[in-house]
Amino acid sequence: MTRKGGATPDDGTHPDGTPPAEPPPRPSELADFLLHLEKERDVSPHTLTAYARDLDAFVTYMGEQSATRGWSWGSADRLAMRGYLGFLTRRGLSKRSIARALSALRTFYRWLQREEMVEANPARAVGSPKLERYLPGYLDRAQVDLLFQAAEVRAWEGKLEDVRNLAILELFYSTGLRLAELQGINRPDLDLVSQQVKVRGKGRKERIVPIGDHAQRALRNYEAKRDELLRTVGRGADRAAFFLGRTGKRLSVRGVQLVVTKFLDQVDEDAGLSTHSLRHTFATHLLDAGADLRAVQELLGHASISTTQIYTHTSVERLKQVYRKSHPRA
C-alpha cells in the first residue's frame, strides 16, 4: 500500500510492491584491496569505511556510465576519472570530500598496479581540487581563563563528573589532542610522574606528548575519584579506559563532546566552538609564544608541515589586527 503522492512505503519496497533492488556485488579486486588495508596496513575502521564508501561509489558510477558496453579497471582512463569528479561536484560534494575520493582512487590503483592488474594509474593524471583554506576558531587568553574558572568552580565540589570534566579540558588544552585520541586513552598510556601521555593518532601512529603542570594536577585529582568509582562498580567497570562515565564504562566520543561544548558555550555561545577548537587554541598559543613550527607539527601529530602552517595564518591575522589598532599610521 502506497502513501499519497506515490511515496515509497516505510518498509523500503517500491510503489508497485516489489522489493528494492540489491546493490551490485562488490568486485573481488576491491574486496581484496579493502582486506589488504585492514589486515596488512592496519588502517583504522573509520578510514576503512571511508575507502569502501568512496570506491563503491566509483564502481556504481562506472557501471551506470558503461551499462551497455561494460568496463574494467584497465579501461577507466583519465577522462573517466575527471568525469567522476565532475559527477561528485554536481552532486554538491565539498572540495575536501572530492579530494578524499580521488585520493582513494589513487591508492587503489597503485595497489592494482603493484598486483599487476593494470598497467597505469589514471588517477595520478588528475589534479586534486584546490581546497579552501580557513582560519580555525580558537579561544584567546581571556576566554581560556574563563573556561577554566567555570570548570574549577564545579570541580571544587568534588563530584566525580565535575573533577573528570576539568581533567578533560586541561588535557585537551595542555596537549592539543584530537577528540578520538583523548577518548581512547587507557590508564597505562598516562605517565603522571614524567608528565607525558602516549597517543594513538591517525593511521594508528603513536606519539608521546608532554603534559603541563595544571593538567597533571587535574588528572591526579580525577584519578583518585576514578579509583573510588572502580571499587564501587567492581567487576563491571572498564579498568583499562581512563575517562569513565558514572557506570564505570569508557566515556563515549559523544560524551566527551557534550562535556566540552557545554563549557565552551558558556564562554561564547555564538562562536560555534567545539572540542577541536581547543586543539586549535593549543597550537595558536604555542606559535604566538614563539614555538618552532616543526615542534608544533610533532605535538599535533600532523603528517605534513603544510597542515600545521594554517596556524601561522591565525597568528599573522591576529598580529595584523593588533597592528591596525595600535600603530598611529596603520
Q: Which of 100, 198, 249, 276 is catalytic?
A: 276
Q: Specify whether 311 is catalytic.
A: yes
Q: Distance of alpha carbon 14 from its chain centroid, rounded? A: 37
Which residue(s) pair with 198 in the sheet?
Answer: 208
- From the number of C-beta atoms within 10 Å of its C-beta (0-12, 13-18, 19+), residue 292 rates as exposed
User: In 10 A of CB 159, how many CB atoms?
Assistant: 13
Q: Specify whether 202 is catalytic.
A: yes
Residue 21 carries which DSSP code? P
| C-alpha pair distances (Å), 178 with each of 45, 279, 282, 319 | 16, 7, 11, 27
Indicate left, alpha or beta for 70 from its phi (over 0: left) and psi (-120 to 50: alpha).
left
Nearest to 123 by CA among 78, 89, 84: 78
Count, in order, helices (H) and strands (E) of the chain: 12, 3
Angle value at C-alpha 307, between 306 and 313, nearest 5 degrees: 80
Q: Specify whether 280 is catalytic.
A: no
3-state SS string over 141-184? HHHHHHHHHHHHHHHCCCCHHHHHHHHHHHHHHHHCCCHHHHHC
Q: Which of 109, 173, 178, 285 is catalytic?
A: 178
Q: Which of 78, 124, 202, 214 is catalytic?
A: 202
Q: Which of 84, 138, 173, 311 is catalytic?
A: 311
**Residue 121, φ and ψ in degrees, nearest 5:** -110, 90
Q: Specify whether 276 is catalytic.
A: yes
> What positions carry a catalytic annotation?
178, 202, 276, 279, 302, 311
